[in-house]
Structure 1
Amino acid sequence: MNGVTPDPSDPIRDGDALSRLKLAQGLQRATYAIAWERAWPNLARLLTVVGLFVVVSWAGLWLALPFIARAIGLVVFAGIAIAVLFPLSRFRWPSREEALARLDRGSGIRHRPATTLTDTLSSQDPVAQALWRAQRERTLASIKRIRAGLPRPRLALHDPWALRALVMVMLVATFFAAGDERAMRLGAAFHLNGMLAPANVRVDAWVTPPLYTGKPPVILSAANKEAAALPASGPLAVPAGSTLIVRSSGGSLDVAVSGGLKEVAPTEAAPKGTNEKHFTISGDGTAHVRAPSGQPQWAFAATPDRAPTIALAKDPERQARGGLQLTYKVEDDYGVTGADAQIGLRPADAKDGVKDGSKEADTKAAARPLFQPPQFPLVLPNARTRNGVGQTVKDLSEDPYAGADVTLTLTAKDEAGNEARSEPFNMRLPERLFTNSLARALVEQRRILALDANKNSDVYAALDALMIAPELFTPDAGCYLGLRSLALQLEAARTDDALRDVVGSMWAFAVTIEDDGVAGSVNAALRSAQDALKRALERGASEDEIKALTQKLREAMAGKVRDLARRAEQNPLGPRQPFPAEVQLILDKSVELKQKTQNATTEQLEELAKQQDALREQLQAYRKSANNRAKPGNDGANQSTRDRKCGS
């Protein structure tokens, strides 16, 4: 036996080819195991150093150290890493003999079985060859017991204090402690900008809250720099949407931010000789000025802007002239900047007036309103109301939705764009009260047509019905011709715009009938003057404009007094009482009001206008009672009344 590797192509040894293959695989495993045992202790030391560096980074040490100390720390870690890698320079790959020796030890068999299988016989002596074959067969029989064994690097001998386990525990702890800032904290060790910055560089930082909050800026540098850097002080609470401004007077400026801080472009150019960066604070986060050195890390807690609240303080009220009065309470942390009232048609009014579950409701088309529901702004107690009660009076008596069942919703907005809505309130929208039956019928048909253009045929049928037997029901030629004109206009309407014109004509005709022509123009002039003066008072008009509008109101009230006198003289109760006692009292009160307006202040004009409305309602009530007291046998008076008025 000379130890020469056997030739696999030798036909004498073809029978033990499988054994030779197993031996080759065992040699390969033994080689890798020896290489791992030699390299792993040094690699474990290197990984321990790397893990310790990551632990220090995730713990935030680099963020707290100045640039010089940070550079020294990097050099120290780099030196330790090189030191633990130096033994790897003497690394030697295991030889074949070392692998065979490991297999011999791993098999547990004496006389080196793995090495024996690699031996060859050089003698030609038959006895020697017989002995060699017998020994080889016995070795082949035990080939299954040859094992390379698992690597045993024996780290306990190289790390008796188990520092590697401590580093692993700290690595897990700092992984969760760093949170979303893991990458930023790890990269902070390699940001060396500003290491050589001059010592006289000044850094100023402050937080500017949004203008609508009314809060002053918060200075972060100078006096409170140390306090802001202390973890015990906690994050600095600032309104969401605030702007962090960092300014450096010379040198480079490097600011690292995390969380809800995002850099934005400055709105204005920085002063000459300075560097400036702006950051929007939309959520909790931190900011650290890494260059120049010596600056702390600031933590911010963004306080979100709460949405405003608005609610009705009491139920909506109807005013004397059909106006709608809303009283509401608004509240917001920084102030409400706008509020609106939104009115929508209730579903019950959009079902064409049919009962639920009927077949007709299923076949009819959806309602097609000609007008949008009314919406109007609400008056706020102050420009930016944080907590207060407001009141708005809106005249919707002429709106097509007047008298309909609607849902009222109030909305409020703040400067940040947050919007709040009140609870829906179901109500019937106030409308103008008509005492004339024909005027009431026209207004009702007007509302039906305005809320659903698909009902134009029903409205046409109603107008046609009002023209039946004109000699009995509409003896006045003007009333009949007006109804006829409305019917023809509705019949010719083919577009929504044309239908809207019909709605306007129906309202104008109903008002003319109710106000008896001449009186209607007088009432319209008085109402217009009152509304103009009221709007001027609400918006704070100039004194000259108030005086001009006051003069117009006086003239309108004088015209109203003259019209009352004219109508009293035409009273159908007879010439013996041209001014009945009730009318005389009303006229006297009107004259008194006219005299009061001569020296009334702007604050008293609204009250006088309300009193004038009350007089008008008293006169209407008197006229209605006078008609009821008229004798049935006085055909001349009754006929005169019918000729002068449309309807009854």
Structure 2
Amino acid sequence: MPKQARPEQASPTSSGPTSSEGDILAPVKWPLRLTLWGMTAERITRAFWPLWSIVIAALAALMLGLQDLVMVEWVWGTGAVALAGAGWAAWRGIRMMRLPTRAQAISRLDGSMTGNPIQAALDDQAIGAADMGSQAVWDAHQSRMRKRLAAAKAVQPDLRVARADPFALRYVALLALAAALIFGSVLRVSSVTAMGPSGSDLASGPAWEGWMEPPGYTRMPAVYLNDITAPGIDVPEGAQITLRMYGEVGALSVEETVSGRDPNPDVAQDTAQEFAIARSGRLAIDGPGGRAWDISVTADTPPTIRREGEIESSYEGDAQIPFAATDDYGVVAGTARIELALDEVNRSYLLAAEPEAREAIEVQLPMPIAGDRTEFTEALVENFSQHAWANLPVTISMRVEDEAGQVGETAPEVITLPGRRFFDPLAAAVIEQRRALLWTRDNAPDVAQILRAISYLPDDAFRSAVPYLKLRHILRQVEGDFTTEARDEVVQAMWDLAIELEEGDLASAQERLQRAQERLEEAMKNGASEQEIAELMQELREATDDYLRQLSRQAQQQGDQNPEMSQSQDMVEMSQNDLQGMMDRIQELMEEGRMDEAAEALRQLQEMMENMQVTQGQQGQSSGEQAMEGLGETLREQQGLSDEAFRELQEQYNPGQQGQQGQQGMQGQQGQGQQGQQQGQGEDGQQGQGGQQSLEDSLAQRQQQLRNELNRQSQNLPGAGTEAGEAARDQLGRAGEAMDGAEEALRDGDLPGAIDRQSQAMEALREGMRSLGEAMAQQGQQQGEGQQGQMEGGDPGQQRDPLGRNAGANGQLGSDESMVQDEDVYRRARELLDEIRRRSGDGERPQEELDYLERLLERF
């Protein structure tokens, strides 16, 4: 076992070189010294951290001038507590302080290295010194340990005292000192010596201190007036002056003309003074060591705002009103005020009456979220479409405010308040009557009369029963007790109805597109202005987007019902890109003044739209399945029943209307007998009531027959056992329950309830057909059937073409190559279809050819 060698003594039996302790520790001289110093710093920190924390906190308070803000008693009391605390901290530190020894430093340094090389180098060989092999091993071990000493590094001191200071009070003191260095002054420390009878200031004479603090929103630093020796100072308006005089009262006095205060000798000699700078003038401290400055006030200018740019509005009515604002220190808030410009309104028709008083519109102006607010441009984005003043002349004024409370305002400007535009005539009429009701409730009788006229011939105006029933409900409310609360409910219902009529379905979107194309074409012919053409071009873009959106939705619905036609969605997206490119080309040609080329491009655009409509119609024609055809026929018959129930409900609201419609040649009447019966209702009310009951019974009987037919069809549906097939059966079951409810409502004379249940039945039928289409597609994939290009027939060998010929064993006809190389395949398909129709109408052709053409038309 090795034993500790004595200093300055080598092993007597060692054959290797001997060294003293000084020689061994020579490589670690500086690491050992630094480690010792670090240990000393550790013990000083742990012993005296309360002392220097108290000293730093007291110094920070004095530099911040807290002693000048409180009474002198508080200052001396706090000073006594601080001295007592410092004395306790010093006694604690002295009692805990123990300087580290050199042996302790060696032990820490040795413990930081692998194998404790310092201890190993100082050890002697205890046994085996006489053995040459053992001696050689010992010498090698000693040599390796001494080499490790060369890599020794000083141990980092551990200055953490978190355990002794769990509340981090030392950091609080350091934070206070940092704040004092930034916002305070070392010169303020001396003011504490003047707070007693033995202060040095009494012996040396009076003294003063002063500060100028600008308003916070200017983001300018405070100024210590004792450091200002220049005769003049530029001061922002509203800056605060704080002065403190020390020494004998009356030795120093203040003379100033910047605050607007009344000159008073007693106030001028106050030892503590504070006032705000309101104007330029002179500030002087009279007395020993006094000083004077000429104050020049930098005025805080009010903010400014102006309307900038054109007002823009979207199709939905979102208005963008741009403005620009400036301020020397930054705008904090702004509002826009909108009032009706009554003198500018066209006071015709229902607007001729005096309008009801209505509060002005006030909206907050948007401010920049980040960045500088001294100068910026923003846009007020709001939707005023549902307001009573939408699309009417209004005056708009904008005002902004800075942090000083100053206001800048624009002059009132007359504009047309942007609102949503309605292209559907019926929707526009409903919106016009809605505005008349909002103008004044006195317009209610006239509005009711106009709404009744609108709904007089509903078959010509409405595409379905639901909007008509909504309008009739609105009409009853307008003709009833029309209070303010009732008006609010009615105008909201009218807005919802107008939106429903405007957005409509694919047919209404197509009509809007054609209307936009015609208006643009007419404007190009008449040489309209660039602004008008740009507006019409934007209208065409919006109408095209709406049409393509409706077309895409219809294609998606057809794809859900018949998965084989899912490629129609890709066709819509492809056509949308082509149409957008063509519209960009038309706008570019119009901007260049090439109207003839633009008109030709517009014609090509219309032709492309027509081709896409034909293609879309062809893709949604056939399903080729008996079950789907039967359900489709059931759905059509249910729609017919619902239409008849709707006409009967219409007759209840407008007696005799059906007879007038029959005289005008309208379609959809139930025969001359029913027509004559309705015409005679005014002569014999009892007879009319009996006829009405008879008609309702007839509708109920037909509804029952349709229900029985649906039960028969539901028994032979394909896709049994599959998820889609079971879903189809569930939906058809819901349709049957709705039909039962409709039949019961018809027998009870509840026409609105019957129409509602019939609508539910039709919706369930559509969902059932969609699920059935999915089941058939899955079954076709599993059995290898239902692929495009195959003809009807289960066995490929039994499939026949339109001439009745066998397709062959493999079921293939013709070539796999594409027979249409033209890019516009849809136009080519239309041309072929037109040619087939033309030839089928030629009676001079052979009968076999006519039969073949007839079979082609039935198939395609």
The TM-score range, normalised by the shorter chain, is 0.3 to 0.5
Say which structure is richer in strand. 1
Please report the TM-score for the alignment, with normalisation by the length of structure 1. Answer: 0.44
Q: Which has the bigger relative contact order, CA under 8 A and spacing at least 6?
A: 1
